[in-house]
Structures are given as structure tokens and as C-alpha cells.
Amino acid sequence: MSLPSGARLGPYEVLSPLGAGGMGEVYRARDTKLGREVALKVLPEAFVSDPERLARLEREARLLASLNHPNIATLYAFENMDGVRFLVMEVVEGQTLGERLSEGPLPVRDALDFFRQVADGLAAAHRKGVVHRDLKPGNLKIAPGGLAKILDFGLATTIAPAGAGDVTSSPTASVHHTATGVIQGTAPYMAPEQAKGKPADERSDVFAFGVTLYEALTGKRAFAGDSVTEVLAAVLEREPDLAALPPGTPDLVRFLLRRSLKKNPDDRLRDMAEAKAVLGEALNPGVGSSAPMPASTAAPRGRTLWRLALGLGALALVAVGVVSGRSFWKRSGTASLGPVRRFQIDHKTGGAPQISPDGKHIVYVESGNLRIRDLDRLESREVSGGETASNPFWSPDGRFVAFFARGFLKKVPIEGGTAKTVCELKPSGTVLGAAWSRLGPIVLALGPALGLYEVSSEGGELRLLLKPDPAKGIFDFHTPSFLPDGRSLLLVVHPQTGRQLYLAAFDGREVRRLLPESSPPVGSSTYSESGYVLFNHLEGLAPLYAVPFDASKLAVTGEPVRVAEDAGDPSVSADGVLVYRTGSNSFNDLVLADRSGRIGRTISPGHGTVGYLHVSPDGRRVMLTEEKDGNLDVWVEDIERGSRVRLTTRPETDIAGAWSSSGERVAIMSGIYTDSGVVLMRADGSGEAEKLPFRSTSLPEGSYVSPDWSPDGRFVIYRSGGDLWYGDVAGKGAPVAFANSPFTESDGRFSPDGRYVAYMSNESGRFEVYVRPFPEGDRKWTLSTNGGGAPRWSRRGDELFYLEGSAVMSVALSTRDGFHSSPPRKLFDAAAAGLTVSPFGPTQGAYDPMPDGQGFVLMRRTSTGEKKVVVVENWAEELKRRP
């Protein structure tokens, strides 16, 4: 059927025809719901009337719609509207490769760059089990800017009518496209196994890739003939004439073609990822595209490529020690990478953006969800499985993003797929940074005062790599990043007192300070393969510096040079793309919100990092922990007037705890790094602090975190060493274990009547909220159903709140006749409302209910200015131009 301009199929308005053929008619249309242009591929009547083929296409369409790659034309939907079956696809502007080749072959460098992109797209599809089966010049489009787009992925042989026999363009297809003995594909581009009627797999795409690359370079078909029979005979019996390749074809590309066009699938190039690597190597500066490469410079650098070269016997052993011109530049700085380019993109979240190793993608967290921004696209995309994510970082090959969620380290392929758990965070702590080595391991910095841990990227248990050393003034490690050897680490070290962090390196034996002690504190750092370490002074938005660095000697070789102003969280790719966030400093406002998350009023603005909010029993004050002057201290704020009292001033980390039932005194955890313990003091800051005598040789080592005070004033419950303990305030007897297990228990909270304690534990494999009788009892009730933490009782004891990621949840309770609880229900998503909460990390427990249970005190993130991410290509070139 044909559709006139202006015709409507549901929300799609036809604009103009784009083409027609055996696969049906194609129209440019406008999606009136989403406000974008799309391509509608209306299926032929003969196809629609075949239920088996239609069902197969529906299955394939669902799989193909999951492919999200810049080099694959996106399939948005498979629709049935007004009796018309059609596919909704991305509109790709530009010529097909077939149209371009009618004008002659591509220049060698253009062809290699184009097919490197094609290989990238095919590799991504193959990893998800999708085979194209009909790769040819007509199914490759040259989009504006030279971007390669693969069209009709997996659809051509599914949709095309059986019996079509055009030698050059029409697929020869059948209803049973996977059945042995049925020929499928387009004759000049099909693999020998396809020509024999055998099923196609990834190796068939490798063959078609080689045939199409050959044609792009020579302007001639690798296998020609006047009929389908002659063409198929050539595919089965003849070898392509590699002498027809232009003189400027690199030897690596000739090698690639020979391996891709092997008749036996088992003898072919292993996969498209290797084809991408070979073409990338051929395009590297110093390899040259206008003259044949000498044998001494033709060796691939990677182990995979060298193994391929050995298999062919094409390269000399001496080539193993040769480095490319680009690698030489990284050490000497004598050559140019290209012009410096910089631009900005919007950044709605305050999280640190991370550039991929190949400089093509940025990953970040927005509203608790993992998102990727492809630099060649205007919009970002959400990564499936990346919910409740934090602290994302890249695998060395850029194929995976690792992140943390609900007490676990996970990884997910960026093309889509299931997020897999790498390990549980045992010990459970705040994640202070992580890095993935090219040799395989992942290193995590955990705090407070826990150290560096190592785990295989394939999964396993965390292993302690480097303990803090109090004797040397080392209490925490932050933002580790691997150096080129894959073993040594760049670190930011947190010393004994305050927040005077400094830059250091770790070679597996010792920690070396890299900058003088007189240097300002360092916020975050990263290593650049151009031979520099990039780092911030202080944290947040501050000047960004680069200092020359010899990675082989782990030594700074020059003075720091300022790169940018007001830059935060630098990240740099292997090929010299630098990203950092700028444009705004983030603060927190202390606010009142109702049970739907709607903000009523601001209590006080402009706070720093805040956590552990605790509202006084009368609802007039709130105790909180805030980072101020480089320290974490405890403050009390008047809710009505916004006036403040500072309770602690030590150069240590102090954490807010609980109020006495009268509201006159508070219990806090003091000195998380050194002489830690529970301290009682007056809420107005007057008088002397009283340190509780909770020391006991029976207690494991660790910090006294999250104290809570029983309503009768007799006991304080707290976490130490991953377990919950309680002690008598009057010092009667030794502390008693309340929840002592191989798992991590934390955040114990007394019920208003003192009969129960709510707490969080990861005994089930993730953190959930539990309630147990106090002081003893063998009963236990699980209140959360999908992970949870930071439990808080209502003042009447008939409701308990907790956090599920950034969602504030509520459970109704009854204790009149035993303990009974309702299923949890969601009150509101704090992140969606612009509020900052988390059951873990520096903003842990940044919420607390008001006494009447009708509202909450929370933190709202605010910014001074518009948030942006700055992207700088070839950033180090600018340093070379300076006097």
C-alpha cells in the first residue's frame, strides 16, 4: 500500500516517501507524541499474511530494539495500527555506502575510519547475540560527519519475500531463515556457509564485513558474476584479488582482509572486536595511510593482535618491541594530537562525570539512576540495571560500567544487558572511590578508616590490599586510579587530622607523597596518558592543575600548571579527552517537607555536606552532622528561627546521634578515626562532655557509630565493628551485644516505648530493615521488602519510616497484641523532589520525621549557577603552547 503525505498511523504523521523495495515501503514521518522524525517501514502484504514470519519478526524486533549503539540505526517499535503493520525506525540522513561507491572507491583513511565504526557496531550486536546476516553497501549509511550507521539489522532476510534473485541487492530469502539447506543473504556478500544453505552466525558477518571493506577500498566487488549461480560459485571457490587494493593500504588491513575472507568459518578473524582493534591500530598516528607500512612498524601493540599476527606469520618477532609514534608522543610530547576543542553540555546532577577510555561516552548518576551521554548525541540514555547507582567507573576496554548499589559492587555492559554483582561490600563502609585495572582487578577505597580492597572483576570476595597506618598519619584513601602498568595506583590520602588530603602513589609496597607538605589539600585526581596527573585543590569546584609525572618512576617531574578555574572531579580518556564539571557550587538547604515530599519552607540555607538528622522530641530543634572548616562536626539548629549552636570543634570527625527524652542532652559519636566513643553533652553546648565507659576487650575494633538513646535514659545502643551493642549509661556492667553476627548491623533505633529496636542488616545479601525486641528476644521481623536502611520510628510508635534508595517508605505498626506490621508503601521519592537522602554514605539518614508524623526535616541540594560539564579534546596540546 502507499501512504500519501499527511496520512496518519496512530501518532505518526507521514511527511514524504523515502523509498520502496522488496522489504516494503519506507516513509519519513513525524512522531507527534515525542516530537521527532522517524522512518516508517510498512511491511508487504505477503509478509503480513504469513503468521509464522510475522511472529518471528516480532521476536527479532524485541531483541533489536534493545540495541543502543551510535553505529546502529535504532529500531524504536513494531506497530500494528489501522490494520497496517510497520516498523518505526531512526531516520538516518546521508548516502548509503552503495550510493557513494557508484562515484568510485573511498580514500583509504576514510574507508578505515568508516569500517572501524561498522566493526564497533557489529561487535556490540554480536555481544547481545544479534547477527545481521545481510551486511552490504546498501545497508551501510554514511551519516553527516562521516558517522557510520548499520541499517536493517537482522531484518533483511526476515522480511524479504522468498525467491527474490537480484544479484546485487535483493536478498535470497526463505520463510525458514535458519533452516539448513535454505540460501539467505545477498549473493555477492554472503559467506560460503550461507551460500551452502547453512545457518549464518557472527562469523558470517565477519566475512560480509571483509567483502564490503574490500569493495570500499577497490571500488570492485570481491566476488563478481553475471548471475546468482556465478557469484555463489566465486564465493565458494575463488579468492579475492588483494593486488587490486590501493598502494596506500596498510599491511595490517591486508592482513585483516585475508583473515576475514577465509572460506572456513573457523579460520576467520575471531570477532569484530578484533577487526575494530586492527583498524584502530592502522589509523594511529605514525602508522601512515599514504604508503605501505614497513614490517618493523606493522606490529599490533595488544596481545590479541600479536596473537593474530603470529597465526598468519605476517610480522617479524622484532616488531614486539616497537612502539608507535603515538606512544612515543605520550612520553616525549614532541608531536601533535590535533587542535584543542572545548564545549559544554548540560549536567543536571552534582555527581562526578566519568569519560570512557575511548573518549566517546560520559557516565554519571542522575536521580539515583545510571545514565550515559554519547558525545555524538544530543540526549543521554538510562542504563538498564543501574537503578540506585553511585560512584560509577569504566572498565579499561570501555565495554562495562561498574557502580555501587545497596551495598554491592556491580557491573553492566553499556550496550544493554543485565547488571551482574561483582561482590558484596564486606566490610560495609562508605565508598571513597574505585578503579578497574587493565590486568583485571578492581580496587576500592572504603571508609571510614577501612583501607584499600581488591576484588576480581569477574567476581569474588574483597581482599584487603592496604591498611591505613595511624603511625604515619594515614586514615583514609580516596579516588584511586591505576597507572599504566596496571598495578601501581594514584591516590588521594586523608591524614590523621582534618581534611588536609594530599596526592600520593602506591607501588604495592609503600605510599609515596607526590607533592610537598606545603601544597594545598587535594580534592580529587586522575592520571592522564599524556604524562600528567590532573588534580583539584580542595574539594568541589576549585582550580584544576596538571603536574608532569613519570609513571615508571612514580615521581613528579615538574611544577603544577593551572588548567582551568572552578573545575570539579576531572576525568580523562586515553586519547586525551578531558571532562570536568563546572558552573555551579552545590549546597544544601535544611527544609521542612510534608508526607508527599512537597517542600513547605526553608529552615536555613547554604549548608555543606550534611547527614544524620535528628529532630528533638518537642520538634523545635534538629541535630545534624555537617562538614565545616574541613571537619565533620555536630550542630543543633532551631527549626523556627534558624539559629545554630555548634557542639563539637575538634579536628576529628564527630557524628550526630540521639536526644534524651527531655531534649536537654544529646548522645553523639566522637572521634571516628582515633579515640572513638559515645559522648553525652548538653544540647545547648554548655557544660562538660561526658564520655561513656563503653571500652571493653570483648568489643571488636571499629568506630562507635550511630548511637541512639533509650526513652528511659538507661541505655545507649551503637554500632561497633559491624555489630550492634548497648551499654548502661551509668556504667553498670560491660556492653552487651544486641546483634552480633558475621553480617553488618547498623543504625539501631529504639521504639518510643523502648520495647523494640529497628535496625538495618545485610544478612539476606542486601540491606533490609528489621525489628527485634529489646533487650533480648529470639523473634525478628523483616519490614522492608526491596532493600532498605536508615529506619526511623514515629513518635507514637505506630509507624516506621525507612529509605529504599532515595524513596521514603512507611510501614504501619501495631504492638498491642504482639508485633504486627503492614506491607511497606512509598510516601515519595526524595531525589525526584530534589531532596538529598541516602541510607549510606556522607548523607546517611539525611531525614527525620517531625513528632506529629505529618512532615519531615530533609536536605535539598541547591546550586549557585547552571551546572555544566566541560569537554576538552586534546587538552594537553594547550600546555605545550604556553611559554
Residues 449-465 have a mean pLDDT of 89
Exposed, middle or buried by CB within 10 Å (0-12, 13-18, 19+), for 830?
buried
Which amino acid, 839? P
- Cell reading at 282: 592502522
Q: Shortest CA distance to 193 belongs to which of 213, 132, 139, 182?
A: 182
Contact 480, 471 (CB under 8 A): no
pLDDT single digits (tens) 174-183: 323 333 333 4
- Separation CA 67–CA 120 (nearest Å): 13
pLDDT at residue 703 is higher than 80: no
Of 633, 628, 589, whose CA–CA distance to 612 is shortest? 633
pLDDT band per the 50, 70, 90 thresholds, residue 350: low
- What mean pLDDT do residues 572-600 have? 84
Q: Which three-class secondary structure state does DSSP give residue 279?
A: helix
C-alpha cell at 243: 593486488
SS3 assignment for 215-256: HHHHCCCCCCCCCHHHHHHHHHHCCCCHHHCCCCCCHHHHHH
Q: How many of the other CB atoms lie within 10 Å of CB of 510?
A: 12
Q: Which of 564, 522, 515 is nearest to 543 (CA)?
A: 564
CATH fold of 612-740: Neuraminidase (2.120.10)
Question: Among the listed ranges 166-180, 404-418, 751-765, which one has the minimum average pLDDT value?
Answer: 166-180
Please check the confidence at residue 199 and state whether its pLDDT lies above 90: no
Tell me the C-alpha distance between 615 and 636, whole Å.
Answer: 9
Higher pLDDT, 83 or 7: 7
Spell out where 573-664 has E strands. Answer: 577-582, 586-594, 599-607, 610-615, 621-628, 631-638, 644-646, 655-659
Q: How many CB atoms lie within 10 A of CB 601?
A: 8
The reply to whether the predicted model has a pTM over 0.85 is: no
Instruction: For residue 567, give the nearest of 872, 170, 224, 785 by alpha carbon.
Output: 872
Instruction: Please give the mean pLDDT across all residues of the chain.
Output: 80
pLDDT for position 541: 65
Query: What is the per-residue pLDDT across 613-655, written as a single tens digit (0 to 9) for each?
Result: 999 999 999 999 887 655 678 899 999 888 889 988 766 667 7
List beta partners, residue 614: 623
Q: What is the structure's pLDDT at 381? A: 86
Q: What percent of the chain is predicted at pLDDT more than 70?
A: 81
Using only the alpha carbons of the chain, give its radius of gyration: 32
Distance CA 316, CA 323 (A): 14
Greater model confidence, 245 or 744: 245
Q: Each residue of 369-384: pLDDT tens digit?
A: 888 988 888 788 888 8
Q: What is the DSSP letter of 621?
A: E
Q: Is 134 a catalytic residue?
A: yes
Instruction: Provide the β-strand partners of residue 21.
Output: 24
Residue 172: per-residue pLDDT: 37
Q: Residue ranges per domain, the chain?
A: 8-90, 97-329, 612-740
**How many whole angstroms separate alpha carbon 61 and alpha carbon 53?**
12
Whether the CB-CB separation of 576 and 359 falls below 8 Å is answered with: yes
Determine whether 585 is exposed, middle or buried from the number of CB atoms within 10 Å of its CB (0-12, 13-18, 19+): middle
What is residue 630's predicted lDDT score, i.e. its pLDDT? Answer: 56
Tell me the CATH number of domain 97-329, given options 1.10.1020.10, 3.40.50.300, 3.40.50.2000, 1.10.510.10: 1.10.510.10
Can you give the pLDDT at residue 586? 64
pLDDT score for 629: 55
* Top-confidence residue, 685 or 805: 685
- CA–CA distance, 669 with 718 (Å, rounded to integer): 9
Higher pLDDT residue, 564 or 180?
A: 564
- Look at the block and give the residue holding cell 601493540: 301
What DSSP letter does each residue of 68-127 carry, written as one string?
Answer: --TTBPPEEEEEEETTEEEEEEE---SEEHHHHHTT-PPPHHHHHHHHHHHHHHHHHHHH
pLDDT at 696: 38
Q: What is the pLDDT, as a whole number, of residue 628?
A: 63
Q: Which three cell numbers stand for residue 45?
A: 502484504
Which of the four pLDDT bands, split at 50, 70 and 90, describes residue 351? low
Compute the average pLDDT of residues 744-766: 89
How close are the terminal C-alpha atoms of the chain, in Å? Answer: 69
- Considering 113, 134, 633, 708, which one is annotated as catalytic? 134
Q: Is the pLDDT of residue 51 over 50?
A: yes
For residue 468, is pLDDT > 60?
yes
Instruction: Specify the CATH architecture of the domain 8-90.
Output: 2-Layer Sandwich (3.30)
Contact 800, 792 (CB under 8 A): yes
Per-residue pLDDT at 241 exceeds 60? yes
Burial of 818 (0-12, 13-18, 19+ CB in 10 A): exposed
Residue type, 225: G
Per-residue pLDDT at 858 = 92
Helix-helix angle 251-260:303-312, to 10 degrees:
70
Model confidence over 372-431: pLDDT tens digits? 988 888 788 888 877 778 889 999 889 899 999 878 999 999 887 788 999 988 776 778
Burial label for 17, CB within 10 Å (0-12, 13-18, 19+), is: middle
Which tops the pLDDT comparison, 843 or 719?
719
Check whether 25 has a pLDDT greater than 90: no
Predicted confidence at residue 214, as pLDDT, reads: 95
Q: Which residues make Cβ contacts (< 8 Å) with residue 33, sequence separation at least 6?
A: 11
